[in-house]
């Protein structure tokens, strides 16, 4: 099983390390031929607008869209979640996502860099208790279509983010931060920064199951 990590911008190295610890082969992906060599793909955290621009410049936008449409398992964390959304709120006018998950995501929803925080998230399908999730300029999911499974919601958020978003105090609590739609997985947080490999293990198993189905 070869898991690619999109290496245009963002925390690529941490995801590659997590994949290696799970006895899968991790490879950075910057070119189309590298994309062609992987069975699944991780889109890391970073700056989604920059990632979008570089995907176009490197000729990866349409190839990744085609692989997604063809059933390639993909996991997006933070900026990666934004890149997998069908609709982006508070993004740049020229920002283009890969799409794939029928959801509306609000960029930088939890606030600025200074509002980075850790929050407890119970994730459906992942045992071991709540995940202590790291949120850095994180998005949240505003809404999903019926085809999308909500896997997790954050229990709380940092002071101040609700008022900036024009919501009542405490408006961050309960926001959707983990979803799955078929072969696509997305989280608003960064599991690669915690040392907790459960989210990555969940995705690697998704990819392995998809591989078995293809072989069958």
Which residues are known to be catalytic? 78, 190, 192
| Residues near 55 by beta carbon (within 8 Å), at least 6 away in sequence | 8, 61, 64, 83, 96, 98
| Closest C-alpha among 25, 74, 100, 72 to residue 214 | 72
d(CA 140, CA 155): 13
d(CA 150, CA 169): 23
Answer yes or no: are the C-beta atoms of 207 and 3 closer than 8 Å: yes
d(CA 22, CA 113): 30
The Cβ of residue 31 has, within 10 Å, a number of other Cβ atoms equal to: 14
Residue 189 DSSP SS3: coil
Angle (CA) 145-201-192 rounded to 5° is: 85
């Amino acid at each position: 099983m070869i898991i690619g990590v999109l290496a245009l911008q963002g925390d690529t190295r941490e995801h590659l390390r997590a994949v290696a610890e799970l006895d899968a082969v991790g490879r950075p992906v910057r070119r189309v031929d590298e994309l062609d060599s992987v069975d699944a793909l991780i889109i890391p955290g970073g700056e989604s607008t920059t990632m979008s621009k570089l995907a176009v410049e490197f000729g990866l936008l349409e190839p990744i869209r085609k692989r997604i449409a063809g059933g390639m398992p993909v996991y997006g964390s933070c900026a990666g979640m934004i890149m997998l959304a069908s609709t982006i709120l508070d993004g740049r006018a020229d920002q283009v996502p890969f799409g794939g998950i029928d959801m509306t995501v609000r960029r930088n929803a939890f606030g600025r860099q200074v509002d980075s925080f850790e929050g407890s998230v119970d994730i459906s399908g992942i045992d071991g208790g709540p995940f202590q999730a790291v949120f850095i300029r994180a998005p949240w999911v505003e809404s999903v279509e019926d085809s999308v499974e909500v896997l997790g919601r954050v229990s709380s958020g940092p002071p101040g983010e609700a008022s900036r978003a024009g919501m009542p105090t405490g408006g961050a609590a309960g926001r959707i931060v983990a979803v799955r739609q078929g072969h696509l997985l997305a989280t608003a947080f960064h599991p690669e920064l915690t040392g907790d490999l459960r989210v990555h293990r969940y995705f690697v198993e998704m990819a392995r199951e998809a591989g078995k189905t293809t072989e069958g």
